[in-house]
A and B are shown apart, each in its own frame.
Chain A
């Protein structure tokens, strides 16, 4: 085993190990964990058997085989980023709607508590403005 091969193996094993550790620690959720396990597997495989790249290069007719994993990796990264932005847009939509709902429900809660009679509630909004998040202890 050449020094270069040893180096790639170590890097691959480290990457795979780190990902496995994070998945095991439950830092990655559901489909993300699956994706990253696949990445870990590929890193491990390619670092230990770099000949696979030459073989893939011949099989696909690419003259300079080392460029293949780079192209594939960039493609995967782009897809991943696209998916991330889609997910972020969905989260943003949900967050906005939840924020609106909290505002509406807080108003209804206050109105219910007031019973439509007392004017004393006029002083309450000041606390509602200063604290930026919905308060759990809001009486």
Chain B
């Protein structure tokens, strides 16, 4: 079903970036040395020189004419992956919280699980508010992932096609809406525990202020409501931390 091992030349790493000039170049270089393949930085209308830094580091860069948000940028990368027939798409954040060195761990866990999508999570990182929020959404959706928002993910060709479609274009965040869409299409999720750092620069787009949190919780609850009870697929699997 899937190409085992072999070269990574059908692998695309997508890095959505907005004003991450301080870190994006280093992340791109580390990804290139760790996993190889093509690295695509989707510049979400940055006002600093994120785009130039990424290009200098050897990434392919797509400059969006105006900001589409984290998911809009990531989806741009997945559409690029679909267009250029990549079989595997990795995504990670440009701010340095995801270590490129963890990508082989994620890829390995994903390959061995046979799932369509693997999410790298770092439960220890979660704040009380996030833990509470995720427990609420786990109950609501039945998707048993520790951290819904983690942008550290592997998608296979099937997932790329689903997420590049029009159906995924009105989602505002890359978390629950995306996961519910994948589940609705019958794709399997797998969770891999990884090591992450706290953000060095920038701030969480979702958990930046209380009004934003309220907005996010309401928005996502409505999304859950819209999807409610359509598919109760198998719960995501999880790689043991010892692996």
Q: Is the CB of B80 within 8 A of A134?
A: no
Q: Is the CB of B45 within 8 A of A132?
A: yes
Q: Which residues of B contact A5 (CB under 8 A)?
A: none
Interface SS majority for chain A = helix
Bound-state CA distance A27–B45 (Å) is 33
Q: Is the CB of B65 within 8 A of A125?
A: no
A92 close to B (CB within 8 Å): yes
Q: Is the CB of B65 within 8 A of A102?
A: yes
Option from A92, A100, A121 in Cβ contact (under 8 Å) with B64: A100
Task: Closest B residue to A101 by CB, please name it.
Answer: B79
Stretch at the interface among B53-61, B112-120, B142-150, B228-236: B53-61
Interface string of A125-139 (1 = CB under 8 A from B): 110110011100000
B1 close to A (CB within 8 Å): no
Q: Which residues of A contact B43 (CB under 8 A)?
A: 125, 129
25 contacts between A and B (CB under 8 A): A96-B68, A96-B169, A97-B169, A99-B65, A99-B66, A101-B79, A102-B65, A104-B62, A104-B76, A104-B83, A107-B63, A111-B60, A121-B55, A122-B52, A122-B56, A125-B43, A125-B61, A126-B49, A129-B43, A129-B45, A129-B49, A129-B50, A129-B51, A132-B45, A132-B66
Q: Interface on B for A, CB 8 Å cutoff?
A: 42-43, 45-47, 49-52, 55-56, 60-66, 68, 72, 75-76, 79-80, 83, 166, 169-170
Q: Interface on A for B, CB 8 Å cutoff?
A: 89, 92-93, 96-97, 99-104, 106-107, 111, 121-123, 125-126, 128-129, 132-134
Q: 7 tightest A-B contacts by CB? A: A125-B51, A100-B76, A128-B63, A103-B62, A107-B62, A103-B64, A93-B169
